[in-house]
A and B are shown apart, each in its own frame.
Chain A
Amino acid sequence: MLRFLFSRLATFFVTFVGVTLISFAFIRVIPGDPIIVMAGERGMSQERYEELSRQYGFDQPLLTQFWDYLTGVLQGDLGQSFVTKKPVWDEFFALFPATLELSLCAIILAIALGIPAGVIAAVNRGKFFDRALMSSALVGYSMPIFWWALLLIIVFSGNLGWTPVSGRMGLLYYFPTPTGFMLIDSLLSGQDGAFTSAIRHLILPTIVLATIPLAVIARQTRSAMLEVLSEDYIRTARAKGLKPWRINGLHALRNAMIPVITVIGLSVGTLLAGAILTETIFSWPGIGKWMVDSIFRRDYPVVQGGLLLVAVVVMIVNLIVDMLYGLINPRIRTRK
């Protein structure tokens, strides 16, 4: 296990340096001089240009620049936003809870519906339930989620008026947000209706973001269950006369979970990609919307830092999933 841990950490470190290199390269390959871009329409004098060049280190050799960037990153210094002049690191962590809250709700919804759907489909293989569930899963898997979001807005916000169109909280409520999670902060505030408002704002974005992971988890659960259900030990369990729910729910599902956990881990990337679209449509003040807005505003330090931090989040989650996987499945950690 130690050996496995060590080799995974080594890979993690190499990938981290690579990811840093890419985000470092980003600001240097965009067409146009970043300092001139920063000056905007007004332009600037030669002295000011040189001063800024020095300040941002652009007059140094590339290798020195990269070294400074890397050491800066490790100390949490990702530069400042051109637009707000705030450190990128602070902006990221101010917005991250919003994305985390949405993503957690989405993945919980996807797991809570996806695994039972997959199990039901596998147990009823070829029958009506299987076909209905798997057809819906395929539709969900093929869904352009930005369109799906618009449809839900038309029906639930427009026609029925049940849910708000955008944001995280109704305008009537104002309270401090110590955790950054609206669901928790609204409860802590003790204001009437604040919690309900938080939930009403969360429902549609959660459904939209959960759609694709839900479909993937359902499909994966079904195929893993089918594989496990044909094994000898399941036949033995049947022969022993165990109740079907015990066989399916305990004996089969436990082993079928291994590939499903991988899929859940892999869907973190999908979630963050989906968050870009979902947050943009619902004006959800999280990382995805922040990145898109910064790209449009040409706020390059933010794009650069955000890109790096998002990649690191994905890498850390993948590392954790790998570790868990090694714990659950001994065959993985001994594999060369």
Chain B
Amino acid sequence: MTDMTEAAATAPKRPGRLAEFWQYFSENRGAVIGMWTFGILVLLALLADVIAPHSATEQFREATLQPPVWQEGGSWTFPLGTDPLGRDMLSRLLYGARFSFFVGMVVVVIAATGGILLGLVAGFAPKWLDTVIMRLMDIILSFPSLLLALVLVAILGPSLLNAMIAISVVLQPHYVRLTRAAVINERTRDYVVSARVAGAKLPRLMFITVLPNCLAPIIVQAALSFSNAILDVAALGFLGMGAQPPTPEWGTMLAEAREFILRAWWVVTLPGLAILITVLSINLMGDGLRDALDPKLKRS
């Protein structure tokens, strides 16, 4: 805060975009907590090789279903206990974090790139092409997302990669709609008209003139679909249509542990808790992003 007032005193101009963004973002305490949690989780995932006490797939047959260290029968060899095959829970959870973040990132990149491109085209295209694209998106949105993803995976064959493709397809229409709406809103503004008059070609108008001004809602959507992707991949894994065992994917871990729910609480509770905390931290950040980027809500 003092930095800001000093800056304002020495140079009578607005604080930089990033500083302004940070000011709004940091006002939301939940968002900052979410960001820290997210950061720590990413770090844990990246350092899984160093931190994890065991391999994610090594089976310790003499120590199956061992409880966590604080419970009777637990030991420091397996801090969070072991699963029915004697694999270390902590190591599996750490490696599982990698899958979740990887999936989230890939899905957001594919869905956002495709969706933004289609949305830009729809916004600038002649009416018939716009109609074709938007009806296509309506069709995709008529299917419940998880059901369509399940069926796509049934076509492509169950694997983590196919689950990611399916979820990208399902999440894409949201980007198309958002981008198109923003483009149509911006297209008739004076700055776009003057760029057009100055002779800017269509690609330049699309990507350099208009797109940067449409990014705010898209960024918020990206945060949302990041968490949705993690949830959906876990759900597919849980139904046996995502990552296949012995991959330490959190949803798949839950599915494998289902029959032990009444005997060993940790094999069920911990992977789900990992999903919840990850998704929650991303959603907290998403709320902060929305508040900071949406001018309508600022200072309301």
Do they bind each other?
yes
Which residues of A does B touch, CB under 8 Å?
11, 14-15, 18-19, 22, 26, 29-31, 135, 138-139, 141-144, 146-148, 150-151, 153-154, 158, 226-227, 230, 269-270, 272-274, 276-277, 280, 291-292, 295-296, 303, 307, 310-311, 314-315, 318
B283 to chain A: which residues have CB within 8 Å? Answer: 138, 141-142
20 A-B residue pairs with Cβ-Cβ distance under 8 Å, sorted by A, are A15-B142, A18-B135, A18-B138, A19-B142, A31-B157, A142-B227, A154-B261, A154-B262, A154-B268, A227-B300, A230-B300, A270-B144, A273-B145, A277-B235, A277-B238, A291-B147, A295-B154, A303-B151, A307-B147, A314-B142
A150 contacts B261, C-beta separation under 8 Å: yes
Cβ contact within 8 Å between A18 and B275: no
Asked if residues B276 and A139 are in contact (CB atoms below 8 Å), the reply is: yes
User: How many Å from the CB of B91 to the closest CB on chain A?
Assistant: 20
CB neighbours (8 Å) of B239 from chain A are 276-277, 280, 292
Instruction: Say if the beta carbon of B280 comes within 8 Å of chain A.
Output: yes
Interface flag for B150 (CB, 8 Å): yes
Let me know if A272 and B147 touch, CB within 8 A: yes
Known: A138-B287, A295-B154. 4 other contacts (CB 8 A): A26-B151, A138-B283, A150-B261, A154-B268
Query: In the complex, what distance in Å separates the CA atom of A318 from the CA atom of B251?
Result: 31
Q: Which of A227, A274, A315 touches B142 (beta carbons < 8 Å)?
A: A315
**B143 on the interface (CB 8 Å rule)?**
yes
**A31: B residues at CB distance < 8 A:** 155, 157
Assembly CA distance A310 to B146 (angstroms): 12
At the interface, yes or no: B229 with Cβ under 8 Å from chain A?
A: no
A227 to B240 Cα, complex, angstroms: 44
| Chain A proximity mask over B220-264: 1 for CB below 8 Å, otherwise 0 | 000000010001001100111100000000010010001001100
Q: Which residues of chain A come closer than 8 Å to B135, judged between CB atoms?
A: 11, 14-15, 18
Contact B154 A142 (CB under 8 A): no
What's the Cα separation between A267 and B175 when bound, in Å? 19
B269 within 8 A of A: yes
Q: Which residue of B lies closest to A25 (CB)?
A: B155
Candidates B136, B141, B280; contact of A142 at CB < 8 Å: B280
Q: Which residue from chain B places its CB closest to the CB of A223 in the assembled complex?
A: B297
Q: Which of B264-285 contact A (CB under 8 A)?
A: 265, 268-269, 271-272, 275-276, 279-280, 282-284
Whether B9 is near chain A, meaning CB under 8 Å from some CB there, is no
A200 vs chain B, min Cβ distance (A):
18
B11: min CB distance to chain A, Å: 34
- Chain A interface mostly helix, strand, loop or mixed? helix
A-B pairs, top 3 by smallest CB distance, nearest first, are: A147-B272, A273-B144, A18-B139
Q: Is the CB of B275 within 8 A of A147?
A: yes
CA distance A143 to B146 in the complex (A): 15
Set B142, B143, B279: member contacting A144, Cβ < 8 A: B279
Q: Are B155 and A19 in contact, with the CB atoms below 8 A?
A: no
> Do A144 and B275 touch across chains, with their CB atoms under 8 A apart?
yes
Contacts of B231 in A (CB 8 A): 142, 144
B145–A269 CB distance below 8 A: yes
What residues of chain A lie closer than 8 Å to B145, measured between beta carbons?
269, 273
Check if B261 sits within 8 Å of A143, measured CB to CB.
no
CB contacts (< 8 Å) of A143 on chain B: these are 276, 279
**Docked pose: A139 CA to B144 CA in angstroms:** 22
Chain B residues with CB under 8 A of A15 = 135, 138-139, 142
Specify which of A30, A226, A274, A311 is in contact with B143 (CB 8 Å cutoff).
A311
Measured between alpha carbons, how far is A227 from B294 in the docked complex, in Å?
Answer: 14
Whether A150 pairs with B150 at a CB distance below 8 angstroms is: no
User: B184 CB to closest chain A CB, in angstroms?
Assistant: 11
Within the assembled complex, what's the spacing in Å between the Cα atoms of A307 and B261?
Answer: 32
With A14-B135, A150-B254, A295-B154 as known contacts, state yes or no: A138 contacts B284, CB within 8 Å: yes
**CB neighbours of A158 from chain B (8 A):** 261-262
A252–B135 Cα distance when bound, in Å, is 36
B142 touches A142 (CB 8 A): no
Cross-chain contact A276 with B272 (CB below 8 angstroms): no
Q: Chain B residues with Cβ under 8 A from A19's Cβ?
A: 139, 142-143
- With both beta carbons as reference points, the residue of chain B lying nearest to A292 in the complex is identified as B239
Select from chain B the residue with minimum beta-carbon distance to A139.
B280
| Least CB distance, A22 to chain B, in whole angstroms | 7
Instruction: Tell whether, in the assembled complex, residue A144 and residue B151 are in contact, meaning their CB atoms are under 8 Å apart.
Output: no
CA distance A14 to B131 in the complex (A): 11
Contact in complex: B136, A18 (CB < 8 Å): yes
Residues of B within 8 A of A151 (CB): 268-269, 272
Smallest distance from the beta carbon of A109 to chain B beta carbons, Å? Answer: 19
On whether the beta carbons of A138 and B272 are closer than 8 Å, the reply is no
Closest to B230 in A: A144
Whole-angstrom distance between the Cβ of A185 and the nearest chain B Cβ? 27
Our pick among B268, B276, B279, B280 for the contact of A150 (Cβ within 8 Å) is B268
CA distance A270 to B141 in the complex (A): 11
Chain A contacts of B271 at CB under 8 A?
A: 147
Task: Give bound CA distance, A296 to B158, whole Å.
Answer: 11
* A154 CB → nearest B CB, Å: 5
B127 → chain A, closest Cβ, in Å?
12
Query: Could you say which residues of chain A place their CB within 8 Å of the CB of B235?
Result: 144, 146, 277
Query: Once the chains are docked, how many angstroms separate the CA of A311 from the CA of B148?
Result: 10
